[in-house]
């Protein structure tokens, strides 16, 4: 490892720009003639649109035009789609209702876009939006996922009778039921995974620019995957063919999944730009973000876990209902299926698993991937069940887990996944040591003396990153391939540009990707630029989500570096009249091994471009590209332990210790990994302790601002103790697994297990607000 190579604790290159206010976000973009959009949104959760009268809005000062869904339809703009086909267990395809970018007949949730106003200023656009008169006929509403499946409930989409989108299963139902019938002990639980709002610091924004001269569109947008946005907008929404649509995702202030998806606003602003002849910019305010960013989670499940007489798990049976909201967002269908149920084996050898998942429409915002996407739901369900089982069986939670850990690899689970490497015992041991598990009893007694209830809880999570390989995900219904591409361009003086299809919106790629290059050629990271986020600059890519950038994106860079290195060595061998196989790269120079002959890296680069003296037949230049399609998922895993103190008088929970022991495979930059873990833990703790989206019966969002939606703040969190014990990933050349979501995946059950331990009552749902904890503690005493 060099000072800036793989494994170095390098501070983030991009932070100077972010911390000094020099970032360039979509809302910072200003182009000549640019105008501003405001969306007219439905105030009703379910209604028929009788008429839209835009006359007085159009007459308002500064207004350029007001456009509605009928015009959008007439211009042939397509429906928003869900890009992952799921079939129900009876073989029928999922029942996707139509999602118009601007609703023309029916609105289905509060915030549904109905019309767009384009005006000289944001204020004028908003004033005019209020003047659009829409005659609604309200319809009955259902927001709760369980109720939505009941008899006589409002029908949200004609395509999905009874609001059921699909009824899917995985695993062997017969074997699972048999094992449960024969079990020595069965632990049963009802598990609710609370609905969350993603809350990226930068709200969504877009700038649509139509150039009539070239009949060409440019879309600036807050996207985690600009190429995917272009693909979907071209192939399905009929905005423009790919060669006439450039998508740029500049600096993006956080995504957490919510900026994977294509939303109505991007499409409508591009279309409106063509209709009005002016560039159209829209930036969400925080209320719009709460109303319309795709939410996360929202599952209700029942679980049965069967044990034999030696406390080995013999079967797991899960029944889940997942709320997908009013429309099927881009990847909504795969989150509660292939990203969820395939992880239900956890870290344990479970011979039989069966999961049934029903997804439903409700009159709420669309629900899709949010940090962890399916894996937090699986982990929460499994790890609460394990802890409950340990209590019922009279075993320590560590003991029950140890009995059931998978210990040899590769391991084929009954739910598709083939785990390639791991050492779960190592993480468990590291976490227990760091938290001083053995000293807990004394700490509990001390707390008791102060009238406080201490509890400790653990969570042994596994997750899957880098969704792959493409052929496999294709066979499971994915509409896209999940590879990544990279291009490494060495400049004539030896500096390097790396074009990547990954997109950084907080992950630090400009640093970590540069470290991989620095490691290879011995150049400083300052001479390496990472170029991303622009479909005109980067040929193709699948973007950043599911902690895939390290395992997939960097592996593509790695492959391209292989090709560059091979060519550079050929050139160096030629220049030094040595054998290619004797050339090694050390300290920024290409050397003949075992001699003092060398040419600096910069000279090889220059030679490739002057082309005065290249090996016979070699093309000039030093630039190579690669596509990388992984052979398997990667499987980060770890053990999280949380220790809490509950004030029984108020129900207030204080986290006194939080330990994370992760296995992320090889680590490129420990500083960034720790940052990712800290952020993930904060979000997971947010889910467990504070956050929750609430709709009232009429479908109004009660948590539409930070006055009511509780985000974790610094003083809600302890100083985290993070450690890693890593097993390299065998399926990619860097041996990396991914660390972006683990914190959010592993932490909620550890926290809830700790609180239920403290209060002695297992009946507790997230978020464990003081009120709920107080009531649960009282119910038991």
Partner 1 sequence: MYETNYHRAASIEEAAKLMGTVAEGKYLSGGMTLIPTMKQRLAAPSDLVDLRHIAEMKGVTVDGRAVRIGAATTHEEVATSAAIAAVCPAICGLASHIGDPHVRHMGTIGGSIANNDPAADYPAAMLALDAVIMTDRRELRAENFFTGLFETALEEDEIVTAVRFEAPVKAAYQKFANPASRYAMTGVFVARRDDGVVRVAVTGAGSSGVFRHQGLETALSANWSPAAVANVTVDDSDLLSDIHASAAYRANLVKVMAKRAVAAA
Q: Is there binding between residue 623 and partner 1 (CB under 8 A)? A: no
Residue 178: what are its φ and ψ, rounded to 5°? -60, -45
Give yes or no for residue 763 binding partner 1 (CB under 8 A): no
703 binds partner 1 (CB under 8 A): yes
Task: Give me the phi and psi of 127, to 5 degrees please.
Answer: -55, -45
Per CB under 8 A, the list member of 58, 244, 411, 694 interacting with partner 1 is 694
Q: List the Cα angle 629/335/397 in 5-degree steps.
A: 100
Q: Around 355, how many Cα atoms within 13 Å sit in the side-chain half-sphere?
A: 26
Q: Per rule CB under 8 A, is residue 418 in the interface with partner 1?
A: no
Stretch that binds partner 1, among 52-60, 119-127, 583-591, 616-624 (CB under 8 A): 119-127
Q: Are 685 and 656 in contact (CB under 8 A)?
A: no
Whether the Cβ atoms of residue 465 and residue 546 lie closer than 8 Å to each other: yes
| Residue that is written with structure tokens 């429906």 in the block | 79
CA gap 582, 563 in Å, rounded: 17
- DSSP character for 593? T
For partner 1, which is the closer residue by CB, 600 or 770?
A: 770
| Residue of 31, 471, 711, 779 interacting with partner 1 (CB under 8 A) | 711
Q: What angle do CA 63, 67, 68 make, to 5 degrees?
A: 145
- Can you list the pairs that 521-524 forms with residues at least 24 positions away whose Cβ atoms lie under 8 Å? 521/496, 521/561, 521/565, 521/568, 521/585, 521/588, 521/601, 522/2, 522/585, 522/586, 522/587, 522/588, 522/589, 522/601, 523/494, 523/495, 523/496, 523/588, 523/601, 524/4
Considering only 65, 127, 266, 663, the residue that binds partner 1 (CB under 8 A) is: 127
Distances (CA, A) of 775 to 314, 320, 765, 769: 35, 26, 12, 10
Is residue 690 close enough to count as binding partner 1 by CB under 8 A? yes
Question: Looking at 6-14, 353-361, 628-636, 700-708, which segment touches partner 1 (CB under 8 A)?
Answer: 700-708
**Options 152-160, 346-354, 388-396, 698-706: segment touching partner 1 (CB under 8 A):** 698-706
Rg from Cα positions in the chain = 27
Pattern 448-487, partner 1, x by CB under 8 A:
----------------------------------------
Phi, psi of 510 (to 5 degrees): -60, -25
**DSSP β-bridge partners for residue 25:** 251
Q: Is 493 in the site for partner 1 (CB under 8 A)?
A: no
Dihedral sign for Cα atoms in the order 125, 131, 133, 138: positive
Among 34, 472, 710, 717, binds partner 1 (CB under 8 A): 710
By CB under 8 A, is residue 775 in contact with partner 1? Answer: yes
Among 178, 287, 311, 429, binds partner 1 (CB under 8 A): 287
CB of 716 to partner 1, least distance (A): 8
Residue closer to partner 1 (CB basis): 197 or 485: 197
Q: How far is the CB of 403 from partner 1 (least distance, A)?
A: 38
- Choose one: 50-58, 120-128, 290-298, 496-504; the region binding partner 1 (CB under 8 A): 120-128
Angle 264-276/226-235 helices, nearest 10 degrees? 60
Supply the minimum distance, in Å, between the C-beta of residue 708 and partner 1: 5
Q: Does 717 bind partner 1 (CB under 8 A)?
A: no
Based on CB atoms, which residue is closest to partner 1, 43 or 770? Answer: 770
Tell me the three state secondary structure of residue 345: coil
Q: Which is nearer to partner 1, 123 or 566 (CB)?
A: 123
**Member of 19, 55, 123, 441 binding partner 1 (CB under 8 A):** 123
List the one residue from 22, 190, 407, 706 that touches partner 1 (CB under 8 A): 706
Stretch of residues binding partner 1 (CB under 8 A), selected from 124-132, 290-298, 417-425, 460-468: 124-132
**Span of 46-54, 516-524, 564-572, 699-707 interacting with partner 1 by CB under 8 A:** 699-707
Q: Is 702 in the site for partner 1 (CB under 8 A)?
A: yes
- Residue 30 beta carbon to partner 1: minimum distance, rounded to whole angstroms: 21
539 vs 765 by CB, closer to partner 1? 765
Q: Find the binding residues for partner 1 in span 9-28 (CB under 8 A).
A: none
Is residue 130 at the binding interface for partner 1, with CB under 8 A as the rule? yes
Give residues 641-680 in contact with partner 1 (rule: CB under 8 A).
Answer: 649-652
What minimum distance in Å lies between the beta carbon of 163 and partner 1?
24
Eight-class DSSP state of 26: G
Q: How far is 110 from 113, CA to CA, in rounded Å?
A: 9
Which of 153-161, 232-240, 381-389, 768-776 is the region at the interface with partner 1 (rule: CB under 8 A)? 768-776
Least Å from the CB of residue 117 to partner 1: 14
Q: Looking at 113, 556, 774, 776, which residue binds partner 1 (CB under 8 A)? A: 774
Q: Are 725 and 430 in contact (CB under 8 A)?
A: yes
Q: Which of the ranges 163-171, 211-219, 687-695, 724-732 carries the binding residues for partner 1, by CB under 8 A?
A: 687-695
Q: How many residues bind partner 1 (CB under 8 A)?
A: 25
Nearer to partner 1, 586 or 649 (CB): 649
The Cα–Cα gap between 58 and 398 comes to: 67
Closest CA to 368 of 339, 399, 401: 339
Based on the shown chain and the rule CB under 8 A, indicate whether residue 597 belongs to the binding site for partner 1: no
Q: Which residues touch 506 (CB under 8 Å, ≥6 apart)?
A: 252, 253, 254, 255, 679
Stretch that binds partner 1, among 126-134, 415-423, 454-462, 530-538 (CB under 8 A): 126-134
| Cα separation, 441 vs 272, whole angstroms | 65
56 binds partner 1 (CB under 8 A): no
Smallest separation (angstroms) from partner 1 to the CB of 714: 11
Q: Does 771 bind partner 1 (CB under 8 A)?
A: yes
Q: Pattern 352-381, binding to partner 1, x per CB under 8 A?
A: ------------------------------
Q: Which is nearer to partner 1, 266 or 691 (CB)?
A: 691
Name the residue nearer to partner 1 (CB basis): 130 or 586.
130
Considering only 618, 708, 779, 780, the residue that binds partner 1 (CB under 8 A) is 708
Decide if 702 contacts 694 (C-beta within 8 A): yes
Structure tokens at 702: 């009660």
CA angle 662–666–669, rounded 5-degree value: 90
3-state secondary structure of 606: helix
Q: List the structure tokens of 387.
A: 């802890």
Largest CA distance in the chain: 87
3-state per-residue secondary structure call for 56-89 = HHHCCCCEEEEEEHHHHHHCCCCCECCCECCECC
Is the preceding omega at residue 469 within 30 degrees of 0, hence cis?
yes
* Nearer CB in complex with partner 1: 588/718: 718
Q: Is 707 in the site for partner 1 (CB under 8 A)?
A: yes
Q: Please list, in sequence order, all residues whose beta carbon lies within 8 angstroms of the beta carbon of residue 284, skipping any fewer than 6 positions away.
A: 203, 204, 205, 265, 292, 293
- Residue 84 vs 709, nearer CB to partner 1: 709
Strands 216-221 and 245-248: parallel
| 769 is an interface residue for partner 1 by CB under 8 A | yes
Closer to partner 1 by Cβ: residue 637 or 768: 768
| C-beta closer to partner 1: residue 692 or 749 | 692
Tokens of 32: 């000549």
One residue of 108, 126, 444, 591 binding partner 1 per CB under 8 A: 126
Binding site for partner 1 (CB under 8 A): 123, 126-127, 130, 287, 649-652, 689-690, 694, 702-703, 706-711, 769-771, 774-775
């Amino acid at each position: 490892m060099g000072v800036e190579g793989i494994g170095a604790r390098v501070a983030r290159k991009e932070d100077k720009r972010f911390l000094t206010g020099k970032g360039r976000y979509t809302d910072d973009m200003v182009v000549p003639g640019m105008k501003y959009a405001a969306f007219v949104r439905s105030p009703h959760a379910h209604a028929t649109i009788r008429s839209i009268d835009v006359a007085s809005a159009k007459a308002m000062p500064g207004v350029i035009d007001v456009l509605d869904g009928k015009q959008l339809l007439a211009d042939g703009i397509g429906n928003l789609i869900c890009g992952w086909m799921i079939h129900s267990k009876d073989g029928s395809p999922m029942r996707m209702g139509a999602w118009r970018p601007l609703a023309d007949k029916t609105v289905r949730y509060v915030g549904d876009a109905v019309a767009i106003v384009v005006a000289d200023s944001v204020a004028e656009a908003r004033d005019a939006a209020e003047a659009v008169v829409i005659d609604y006929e309200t319809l009955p509403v259902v927001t709760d996922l369980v109720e939505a499946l009941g008899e006589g409930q409002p029908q949200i989409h004609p395509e999905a009778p009874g609001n059921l989108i699909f009824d899917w299963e995985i695993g062997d139902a017969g074997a699972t039921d048999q094992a449960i019938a024969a079990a020595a002990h069965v632990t049963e639980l009802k598990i609710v995974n609370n609905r969350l709002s993603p809350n990226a610091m930068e709200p969504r924004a877009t700038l649509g620019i139509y150039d009539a001269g070239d009949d060409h569109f440019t879309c600036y947008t807050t996207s985690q995957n600009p190429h995917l946005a272009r693909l979907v907008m071209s192939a399905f929404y009929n905005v423009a063919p790919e060669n006439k649509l450039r998508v740029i995702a500049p600096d993006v202030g956080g995504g957490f999944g919510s900026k994977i998806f294509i939303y109505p606003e991007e499409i409508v602003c591009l279309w409106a730009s063509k209709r009005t002849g002016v560039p159209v910019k829209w930036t969400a305010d925080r209320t719009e973000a709460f109303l319309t960013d795709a939410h996360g989670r929202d599952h209700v499940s029942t679980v049965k876990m069967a044990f034999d007489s030696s406390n080995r798990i013999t079967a797991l049976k899960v029944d889940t209902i997942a709320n997908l909201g009013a429309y099927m967002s881009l990847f909504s269908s795969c989150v509660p299926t292939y990203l969820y149920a395939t992880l239900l084996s956890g870290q344990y050898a479970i011979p039989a698993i069966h999961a049934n998942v029903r997804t439903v429409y409700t009159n709420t915002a669309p629900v899709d991937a949010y940090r962890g996407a399916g894996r937090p739901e699986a982990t929460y369900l499994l790890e609460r069940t394990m802890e409950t089982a340990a209590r019922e069986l009279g075993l320590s939670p560590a003991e029950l887990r140890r009995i059931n850990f998978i210990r040899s690899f590769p391991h084929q689970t009954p739910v598709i996944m083939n785990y390639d490497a791991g050492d779960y015992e190592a993480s468990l041991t590291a976490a227990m040591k760091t938290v001083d598990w053995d000293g807990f009893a004394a700490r509990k007694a001390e707390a008791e003396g102060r009238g406080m209830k201490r509890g400790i809880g653990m969570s042994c999570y596994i997750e899957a990153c880098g969704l792959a390989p493409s052929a496999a995900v294709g066979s499971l219904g994915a509409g896209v391939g999940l590879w990544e591409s990279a291009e490494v361009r060495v400049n004539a003086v030896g500096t390097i540009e790396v074009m990547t299809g990954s997109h950084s919106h907080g992950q630090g790629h400009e640093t970590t990707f540069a470290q991989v290059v620095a490691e290879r050629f011995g150049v400083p990271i300052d001479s390496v630029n990472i170029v991303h986020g622009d479909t005109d600059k980067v040929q193709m890519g699948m973007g950043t989500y599911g902690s895939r950038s390290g395992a997939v994106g960097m592996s593509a860079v790695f492959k391209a570096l292989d090709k560059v290195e091979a060519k550079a060595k050929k050139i160096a061998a030629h220049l030094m009249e040595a054998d290619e196989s004797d050339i090694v790269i050390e300290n920024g120079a290409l050397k003949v091994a075992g001699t003092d002959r060398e040419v600096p890296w910069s000279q090889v680069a220059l030679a490739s471009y002057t082309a005065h003296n290249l090996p016979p037949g070699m093309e000039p230049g030093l630039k190579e590209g690669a596509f990388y399609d992984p052979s398997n998922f990667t499987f980060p895993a770890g053990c999280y332990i949380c220790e809490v103190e509950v004030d029984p008088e108020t129900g207030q929970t204080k986290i006194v210790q939080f330990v994370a022991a992760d296995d992320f495979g090889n680590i490129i930059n420990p500083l960034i990994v720790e940052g990712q873990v800290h952020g993930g833990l904060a979000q997971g703790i947010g889910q467990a302790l504070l956050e929750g989206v609430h709709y009232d019966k009429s479908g109004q969002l009660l948590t539409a601002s930070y006055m009511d939606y509780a985000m974790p703040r610094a003083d809600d969190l302890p100083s985290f103790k993070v450690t890693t014990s890593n097993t390299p990933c065998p399926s990619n050349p860097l041996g990396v697994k991914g660390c972006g979501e683990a914190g959010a995946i592993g932490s909620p059950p550890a926290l809830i297990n700790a609180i239920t331990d403290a209060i002695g009552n297992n009946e507790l749902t997230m978020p464990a607000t003081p009120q709920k904890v107080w009531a649960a503690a009282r119910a038991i005493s």
